[in-house]
Amino acid sequence: MKIGIVTVLFKSDDVINGFIESMNAQTFDNFHILFVENDVANLHCERAIRETLKTPFTFVRNYENTGVAAGNNQGINFFLSDRSYTHLLFLNNDIEVDPDFLQKHVDLLQLHPEVDALAPKMFYYQPADKVWYAGGKLSYLKGGCRHFGHNKPDRLTTDELYRVDYAPTCSLIVKIWPLRDAGIRMWEELFVYYDDTVFCHELNQAGFRMYFTPTIHLRHKISSSTGGAKSDFSRYFMTRNWLYWGLRRRNLAVLISALALGGFHFVVRNTVEIRAMRDALQMARPLAPEAQQ
């Protein structure tokens, strides 16, 4: 197996050293990291990577902040161009992992060839025993996804794989050849948030078999680059992309919820959410390249 890892950098100064240390410590060594820098004027991460990372890597600096979805698409295209790679791992750089993180992925994927995509158990960095993701499911009623075990102590004692239809792309390893055949890419107009929800939906539509494993762990420094879930940035993109995705799917549950929420936000003057919902209504899904010809 040969793994291509794509990680998108943005305001990653405070987390990059932990990520580098985790990658340097890996016992499995047949991997290459593509760093996509969206914090275009900041040289700190590039300097740290070039000075301290001991594993093979490629560093790309974008001319503007293209968003995490576009950055991940750069990774897909980069690794699909080289047929020696068997798997692509989407991996946030605000995580830290044990030295056997990649080797455990390799062992499980070799033992279970039916697995097309695999996600590990994800804990908060602090407190370390609180679960952030222990499997997940796409939800029509929510117009998004559910994390199993979210914000709870770790009570999952089984070591068995189980099938899921959603996993966050802060750590998701995918077989490359079905990804190549399906031609799936992330929706770049989403920029950030809901990009993994839509991506997982399209993987499922294409027949990908996605699993969760409780035997591989990571520690996630949640929302380190976006200011947290309550920041104006996060509130805007979570609201806009939730409604946009609901409109694209003609999701009746989302449309009904949006009418009620729109009235609430108008009454209490939540200008961030009002602007986000207005923008979602105005957005249009870009045509595929073949449709533009």
Summarize pLDDT for 259-272 with one digit per residue, the tens. 999 998 888 888 99
- Mutual angle of helices 271-282 and 252-268, in 10-degree steps: 140
Structure tokens at 12: 């990653």
pLDDT in tens, 86-97: 999 999 999 999
> What is the tally of structural domains in the chain?
2
Same-domain status, 92 and 164:
yes
Residue at 79 is within a domain: yes
Residue at 227 is within a domain: no
Averaged confidence pLDDT in the chain: 92
pLDDT in tens, 43-68: 999 999 999 999 999 999 999 999 99
Residue at 178 is within a domain: yes
Same-domain status, 216 and 243:
no
Alpha-carbon distance of 293 to 48, in angstroms, equals 43
| 225: pLDDT strictly greater than 70 | no
Same-domain status, 48 and 151:
yes
Task: Specify the pLDDT at position 284.
Answer: 52
- Cβ(266)–Cβ(274) below 8 Å: yes
Last-in-domain residue among 220, 253, 272: 220
Secondary structure of the chain in the HEC alphabet? Answer: CCEEEEEEECCCCCCHHHHHHHHHCCCCCCEEEEEEECCCCCCHHHHHHHHHCCCCEEEEECCCCCCHHHHHHHHHHHHHCCCCCCEEEEECCCEECCCCHHHHHHHHHHHCCCCCEEEEEEEECCCCCEEEECCEEEECCCCEEEECCCCEECCCCCCCCEEECCCCCCEEEEEHHHHHHHCCCCCHHHCCCCHHHHHHHHHHHCCCCEEEEEEEEEEECCCCCCCCCCCHHHHHHHHHHHHHHHHHHCCHHHHHHHHHHHHHHHHHCCHHHHHHHHHHHHCCCCCCHHHHC
Last-in-domain residue among 189, 220, 251: 220
Same-domain status, 210 and 83:
yes
Same-domain status, 237 and 216:
no
pLDDT in tens, 126-153: 888 899 999 999 999 999 999 998 888 8
Last-in-domain residue among 187, 220, 253: 220
Place of tokens 């399209």: 202
CATH classification of the domain holding 74: 3.90.550.60
pLDDT in tens, 192-203: 999 999 999 999
Alpha-carbon distance of 191 to 102, in angstroms, equals 28
Same-domain status, 201 and 247:
no
Across residues 109-134, what is the average pLDDT? 94
CA atoms within 13 A on the CB side of 183: 3
Alpha-carbon distance of 273 to 275, in angstroms, equals 5
| 240: pLDDT strictly greater than 90 | yes
Residue at 225 is within a domain: no
Alpha-carbon distance of 188 to 200, in angstroms, equals 14
Task: Specify the pLDDT at position 24.
Answer: 98
Which residue segment(s) compose the domain that 99 sits in? 3-220
User: Full-prediction pTM beyond 0.85?
Assistant: yes
Peptide bond before 127: cis, by omega within 30 degrees of 0? Answer: yes
Same-domain status, 150 and 256:
no
Same-domain status, 163 and 263:
no
